[in-house]
């Protein structure tokens, strides 16, 4: 077992005293102290094993030996900034280019998803010479000031909406304004963006960019309707803006069938800018912006150097390359297809037995289970979702968390080595908890707990 420096209570006391309290803990009432991890499992200070269903950053598995080896070997040799010529950065950019449409052939390496999105904003503004941004409702694009401004999930709780930011409806076909029964929800939701752009132009403003996650995560593990991105891209480009696909959560094969989630929208769709982060370095701070030659050229034309101290160092790129190798060697995309389908299938079967499960959706290892008080009204079962999360942790040592505007969606974004047995275990435990709740006739939303 890993050596512990402080007892759990001491660590907690120091944490409360020394670390800003806006940096929250999971399970704040009874936090878990984790001292080591491997694959899809995490271990507490007593050696108790937890199944991790949510760490999409540790993409190829916690502490994967191939990643540790690549990092330490490069660290032992050289870690300088990217102003010196080095093979790793070009090798890595070349490997990333091979996963993307040809048009996206220029790369900027940064340290976090937020930095990537902030740079995407600058690229878009510089290229279009416009200022306004259209984002999806409930979106989150990062913690920098510039990104809080374009994240309704955050700005609604803070300073509010800036006049250059415009919010389009979330294309949620389960509970949004156009639902499954609509003949063409992709087109209908794209039209809402078209109308928004018309309104913006009427005010004499012009859009620089449309930002969207290829699969909205904080929005509630949403699967976008087919055709949506292509149609939106048409409207955005004809208004002189660019299309930014935020792949910070969803890239690097999480969907299984495709390396990038935007590719689910069809072969003919290509964003102008793609931002990536979380899974890229398997926990090492590594993120990136990919764009076109034209946009990169416009950014260069301002004559100002773009320098990022830690972006694209030989160590970061060695780690990034190792992550790509493991995804391929261990067929993690194939695993995401197989295990993701099994997980979804088991959850769908569960839905037939438990009224409270309103919707099961997902692709690959990006899956959501939405709980509702009433299937007809779709009132979110927020407290029940929190209750299930708590019991899974306490009774089964399983980490799951919630997402969505009402925190009513149980989300699954596990490390990509998640197995069939893991899927069966977590679904079996959810089944037991819901069955128990029903047997006791607990009405959690009415404060029965
Ligand atoms: C979709 C999306 N974009 C951007 C970010 C910001 O990334 P980071 O926390 O690495 O700055 C996040 C983080 O949760 C995210 O979910």
CB of residue 370 inside a 6 A radius of ligand 1: no
Atom of ligand 1 nearest to the CA of 117: 4
Rounded CA-CA distance 244/139 in Å is: 13
Q: Are residues 258 and 406 in the same domain?
A: no
Reported as a pLDDT band with limits 50, 70 and 90, residue 448 is low
Using an 8 Å Cβ cutoff, are 35 and 43 in contact? yes
- State mean pLDDT over 339-361: 98
For residue 92, the CA-to-ligand 1 centroid distance in Å is: 22
Atom of ligand 1 nearest to the CA of 287: 10
**Nearest residue (CA) to ligand 1, atom 11:** 114
- Tell me what pLDDT residue 159 has: 80
8-state DSSP, 53: S
**Nearest residue (CA) to ligand 1, atom 16:** 249
Do strands 287-291 and 106-110 pair parallel, antiparallel, or not at all (unpaired)? antiparallel
pLDDT digits (tens, 9 = 90+) for 130-160: 999 999 999 999 999 999 999 999 999 888 9
Does residue 2 belong to any structural domain of this protein? no
CB of residue 140 inside a 6 A radius of ligand 1: yes
Does residue 105 belong to any structural domain of this protein? yes
Q: Are residues 299 and 395 in the same domain?
A: no
What are the angstrom distances between the C-alpha of 238 and each of 5, 140, 194, 342, 387? 59, 26, 10, 42, 47
Q: Are residues 290 and 360 in the same domain?
A: no
pLDDT digits (tens, 9 = 90+) for 369-417: 999 999 999 999 999 999 999 999 999 999 999 999 999 999 999 999 9
Rounded CA-CA distance 265/255 in Å is: 12
Q: Are residues 277 and 356 in the same domain?
A: no
Closest CA to 406 of 429, 432, 386: 386
> Residue 73: pLDDT above 60?
yes
For residue 78, the CA-to-ligand 1 centroid distance in Å is: 29
Using an 8 Å Cβ cutoff, are 381 and 410 in contact? no
Q: Are residues 56 and 89 in the same domain?
A: no
- CB 222: neighbour CB atoms within 10 A? 26
Q: Are residues 41 and 74 in the same domain?
A: no
CATH number of the structural domain spanning residue 219: 3.40.640.10
Segments of 279-387 assigned E as strands: 287-291, 357-363, 366-371
Considering only 57-66, 253-262, 278-287, 437-446, which range has the smallest mean pLDDT?
Answer: 437-446
- Count of domains forming the chain: 2
Q: Are residues 274 and 136 in the same domain?
A: yes
CB of residue 173 inside a 6 A radius of ligand 1: no
| Residue at which a domain ends, from 272, 295, 329 | 329
> Residue 1: pLDDT above 60?
no
Q: Are residues 136 and 269 in the same domain?
A: yes
**Nearest residue (CA) to ligand 1, atom 8:** 113
**Best of 278, 286, 308, 316 for a ligand 1 pocket test (most atoms within 8 Å of beta carbon):** 278
Percent of the chain with pLDDT over 90: 95
Q: Are residues 364 and 409 in the same domain?
A: yes
Range of the domain at 247: 65-329
- CB 158: neighbour CB atoms within 10 A? 9
Reported as a pLDDT band with limits 50, 70 and 90, residue 248 is very high
Helix (H, G, I), strand (E, B) or coil at 368: strand
CB of residue 403 inside a 6 A radius of ligand 1: no
pLDDT digits (tens, 9 = 90+) for 261-274: 999 999 999 999 99
pLDDT digits (tens, 9 = 90+) for 162-211: 999 999 999 999 999 999 999 999 999 999 999 999 999 999 999 999 99
Q: Are residues 370 and 402 in the same domain?
A: yes
pLDDT digits (tens, 9 = 90+) for 161-172: 999 999 999 999
**Nearest residue (CA) to ligand 1, atom 7:** 113
8-state DSSP, 42: E
pLDDT digits (tens, 9 = 90+) for 225-237: 999 999 999 999 9
**Best of 109, 113, 260 for a ligand 1 pocket test (most atoms within 8 Å of beta carbon):** 113
> Residue 446: pLDDT above 90?
no
Reported as a pLDDT band with limits 50, 70 and 90, residue 449 is very low
pLDDT digits (tens, 9 = 90+) for 293-324: 999 999 999 999 999 999 999 999 999 999 99
Q: Are residues 295 and 166 in the same domain?
A: yes
CB of residue 142 inside a 6 A radius of ligand 1: yes
pTM for the whole structure: 0.97
Helices assigned H by DSSP within 183-240: 185-202, 228-238
For residue 160, the CA-to-ligand 1 centroid distance in Å is: 20
Percent of the chain with pLDDT over 70: 98
**Mean pLDDT score of the chain, rounded to an integer?**
96
- Tell me what pLDDT residue 314 has: 98
């Amino acid at each position: 077992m890993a050596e512990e420096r402080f007892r759990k209570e001491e660590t907690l006391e120091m944490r409360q005293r020394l670390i800003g309290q806006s940096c929250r803990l999971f399970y704040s009432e009874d936090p878990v102290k984790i001292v080591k991890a491997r694959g899809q499992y995490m271990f507490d200070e007593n050696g108790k094993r937890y199944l991790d269903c949510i760490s999409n950053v540790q993409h190829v598995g916690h502490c994967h030996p191939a990643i540790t080896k690549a990092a330490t070997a490069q660290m032992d040799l050289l870690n300088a900034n990217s102003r010196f010529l080095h093979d790793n950065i070009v090798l890595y950019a070349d490997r990333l280019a091979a996963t993307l449409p040809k048009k996206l052939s220029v790369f900027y390496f940064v340290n976090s998803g937020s930095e990537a999105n902030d740079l995407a904003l600058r690229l878009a503004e510089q290229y279009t010479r416009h200022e306004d941004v259209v984002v999806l409702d409930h979106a989150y694009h990062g913690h920098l000031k510039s990104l809080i401004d374009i994240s309704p999930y955050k700005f609604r709780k803070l300073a509010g909406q800036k006049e250059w930011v415009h919010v389009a409806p979330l294309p949620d076909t389960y509970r949004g304004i156009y639902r499954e029964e609509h003949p063409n929800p992709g087109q209908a939701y794209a039209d809402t963006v078209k109308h928004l752009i018309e309104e913006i132009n009427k005010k004499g403003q012009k859009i620089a960019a449309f930002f969207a996650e290829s699969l909205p995560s904080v929005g509630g593990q949403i699967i976008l309707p087919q055709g949506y991105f292509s149609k939106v891209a048409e409207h955005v480009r004809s208004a002189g803006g660019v299309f930014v696909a935020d792949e910070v959560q969803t890239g690097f094969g999480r969907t299984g069938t495709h390396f990038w989630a935007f590719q689910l929208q069809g072969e003919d769709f290509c964003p102008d800018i793609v931002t990536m982060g979380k899974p890229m370095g398997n926990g090492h701070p590594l993120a990136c912006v990919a764009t076109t030659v034209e946009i990169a050229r416009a950014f260069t034309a301002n004559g100002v150097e773009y320098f990022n101290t830690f972006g694209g160092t030989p160590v970061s790129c060695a780690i990034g390359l190792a992550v790509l190798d493991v995804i391929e060697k261990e067929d993690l995309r194939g695993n995401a297809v197989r295990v993701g389908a099994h997980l979804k299938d088991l959850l769908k079967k569960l839905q037939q037995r438990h009224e409270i499960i309103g919707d099961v959706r997902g692709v690959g290892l990006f899956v959501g289970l939405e709980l509702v008080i009433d299937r007809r009204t779709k009132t979110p079962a927020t407290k029940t979702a929190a209750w299930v999360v708590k019991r899974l942790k306490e009774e089964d040592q399983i980490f799951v968390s919630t997402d969505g505007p009402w925190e009513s969606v149980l989300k699954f974004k596990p490390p990509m080595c998640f197995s069939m047995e893991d899927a069966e275990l977590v679904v079996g435990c959810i089944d037991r908890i819901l069955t128990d709740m029903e047997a006791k006739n607990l009405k959690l939303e009415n404060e029965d707990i």
